[in-house]
Amino acid sequence: MKKAKNKRFLKLSFSLALIFALIFAIGSIAGAAQLVTYLAPQYQDVPFKVENAFFSAAPMMDPKNNKKPLMIEVTDANEKLEVPSLKGFKIAPYEGGAGAPEIINYLKNSPEMTDSAKLRVIARMKKLALILKSGQQARAEFYKKQVSAPLVLFVNLNMGTGPACAPLPMHLDLKDGGKFFFNTAIFIEDIPKAFSVADAIKNDTFDFVVAHENAHGIMFDMYGPAITKIDKKSNLGHDGPMISDRGLAYIEGWAEAFEALYGPTNPLLKLKESEREQYRISEFLFTRQDPVRRDRYIWQNYKGQKTGVLKNGVQILSTEGAIAGLFYDILTSKAIKDPFGKSISVMYLHQPLDFAEFIKGWVKEFSEDKKVLYRIFLEGTNYATVSNEARKLYFDYYQAKLKYVQKKMDEKAFYAVKTKWSTYKENLFNEIMKSDNLASNVNRDLWIEVKGFKTLSLQGVLSKILGTKSPYLNVASFTAGQIKQLQEIGLLKDFADEDIQLFVKTREQMGVMPYKTGSEALREILGKDKAAKLIKNNNIIDVK
C-alpha cells in the first residue's frame, strides 16, 4: 500500500471519530421504514438508517513497518465469542480506493442492498433475544452494541480477494479513548476476467453480489468461532453447479439463495444467455438464477439436453446451487412462519455443519414445521438422498414426460409411469416422517489426496493452475469431468475412460457403498492391480 495512503489511514480526526461513535449508538429510530422484502415482515422498527449502514474503512499501517497492517490481539471474553480468529486489524475510516464514493452511493440507493443490511440488523436482534433468553446478561450488554453496527467495507484496496466476506476481528478507535469492535469485513474489488464492479453497477447487479457477501456475514454473526468447525476439504473451486463438499455447499448455498431472492427485481437477468455479454453481466450471476429457483442443480446435467438423471445423495448435499435452491424454497415458503428468523436461530442455537444437519436442527427447534420442511427437502431433491430407487423411478418419469409432451407416448402409458413414481415417493415421504432419516441414501465421504507431482517446479505449476499443490477428491462424489480436469494438467492420466465410467456406474447403482476409505473403494471396484497402479503413480493417500 502506498505511503500516501498510509498517512491517511493513520490520521483519525476527532470529528470523524465522534460521528462514527454516534452511528454505533443503539436505540429505536422513530419512523423507521418497513422492509422491502417479505423475509422478516414482523420487524417494523429496527435501529437502522441507510446513511449509516455502510462504513468504508481500511487497515491502519504499523508505524514500525508501514508495509504491514497494524494487528490487534482479541483479549475481551465477549469479543472472543464472535470471531474464529484472535488476531485482526486496527482500522480507520477511509473513503476507499478508486471509484469508492460511487460504489457506496450505489449501495445506499439500492432497495435490495438496503434490505440486506436491514436483515443483518434483524438477525442480530434475534441473536440478542436468544442471548437474553439464555440468561447471559453480561454477554447481552456487550452484544447490544453490535446490533446496529454498519457493514465494514474494504473498497478497492487491491487485496486480491475479489468480492468476499471474512470473519475478521477489527477495532476502530473512538474519540473517548474507547474502541468499537467489528466481526466481519466485506471486500469489494474486481475478479480478473470474471467480475467487474464498474460493470455490475452499470447493469445493476452489484447489489446482488454484496447481498451475497452480507449473507455470509449473517451466518458468521450466528456461528462466531464455530464457523471453523464446518469442514471444507474440496479445493478445486466452487460455483452453483459444481460438486465441492457438504460444508462449502452449505455456506455458499445460503449466500447464493439471496442472489435468487433479489434477482427477479432486475429485468436484465431475464434476457437470453446470448444477450448476457452485451450488458456485461457476470456469467455466475446470470446463469445460476433460474436453476436455483427451480431446483435444477440436483440434475447431473442442467444445461443442454435434459435427461432427468439426478446426482447422488452426496453430490446433492455437496452442490451449493442445490442447497441454494432448498434455502430459497424455505425462505419463500408461505407455510412457514418467520422462515428467516427461524433459519438464523437454528444457525445460532445448533451450529449445523451441513444442510442435512440444518434441517435436523430446525425440526428439533421448531417441530411444528416438520411436515412442510421435509416436503420442501424431499421434493426439492426428488428423494435422491433417501432412496436410490427413487432416482431410477424419477428418471423413468422424466423420460416418459418428455415422450408424452412430444406425442411419442400415449396418455395411458404416461400416467402409468407417473402414478408409479408419485405413489412410491408418497409412501417414502410417510416413512421418512416416521424415521427422520433424510440421508439414508447418502454415502459417507471418502476423501483422497492426489499428491501427484513430486518436484517443486511441477508443484508450482499445479498450484498456479488450481490454487493447490495437492487436489482433494471425494471418491463418493467425484465426476468424470473433475477427473478430466486433473488429467489435463498431468494427474490421473492412467485413470482410463472406461475405468472412470465403470467406477461411476458401479457407484451409482450401489447408492451407498460399503467401503470405509477412498482407496478401498478404488480397489474393490477397479480391481486390485489397476487401483494399485493408479494409487502409486499419482501418490494417492486417504484423507480422514
C-alpha pair distances (Å), 81 with each of 74, 91, 149, 174: 10, 20, 17, 22
Contacts of 230 (CB under 8 A, 6+ apart): 223, 247, 250, 251, 353, 354
Considering the entire predicted model, what is its pTM?
0.90
Whole-number pLDDT of residue 17: 35
Secondary structure of 358-376 as H, E, C letters: HHHHHHHHCHHHHHHHHHH
Segment 177-181 long-range contacts (CB within 8 Å, at least 24 positions apart): 180/20, 180/21, 180/24, 180/145, 180/149, 181/76, 181/79, 181/82, 181/145, 181/146
457 grid coordinates: 517446479
Contacts of 33 (CB under 8 A, 6+ apart): none
Whole-number pLDDT of residue 498: 96
Contacts of 468 (CB under 8 A, 6+ apart): 235, 236, 462
Q: Please give the span between the terminal C-alpha atoms of the chain, in angstroms, as a whole number.
A: 40
Whole-number pLDDT of residue 399: 96
- H or E element in which residue 186 lies: strand 185-188
Of 242, 212, 384, which is closest to residue 320 (Cα–Cα)? 242
Of 430, 333, 319, which is closest to residue 372 (Cα–Cα)? 333
Whole-number pLDDT of residue 452: 76
Query: Which residue is listed with cell 422492509?
Result: 35
Cα 398 to the center of its chain, rounded Å? 29
Q: In the chain, what are the domain boundaries?
A: 3-229, 268-435, 447-543
Residue 41 DSSP SS3: coil
Whole-number pLDDT of residue 386: 98
Of 434, 438, 291, 430, which is closest to residue 352 (Cα–Cα)? 438
pLDDT one digit per residue (tens) for the chain, 544 residues: 433 434 333 333 333 333 333 333 333 222 223 334 567 766 667 777 888 899 999 999 998 888 899 999 999 999 999 999 999 999 999 999 888 999 999 999 998 999 999 999 999 999 999 999 999 999 999 999 999 999 999 999 988 889 999 999 999 998 888 899 999 999 999 999 889 999 999 999 999 999 999 999 999 999 999 999 999 999 888 888 899 999 999 999 999 999 999 988 888 888 888 888 888 888 888 888 889 999 999 999 887 777 899 999 999 999 999 999 999 999 999 999 999 999 999 999 999 999 999 999 999 999 999 999 999 999 999 999 999 999 999 999 999 999 999 999 999 999 999 999 999 999 999 999 999 999 999 999 999 999 876 655 555 656 665 666 789 999 999 999 999 989 988 899 999 999 999 999 999 999 999 999 999 999 999 999 999 999 999 999 999 8
Of 441, 319, 308, which is closest to residue 378 (Cα–Cα)? 441
Of 336, 334, 431, 442, which is closest to residue 381 (Cα–Cα)? 442
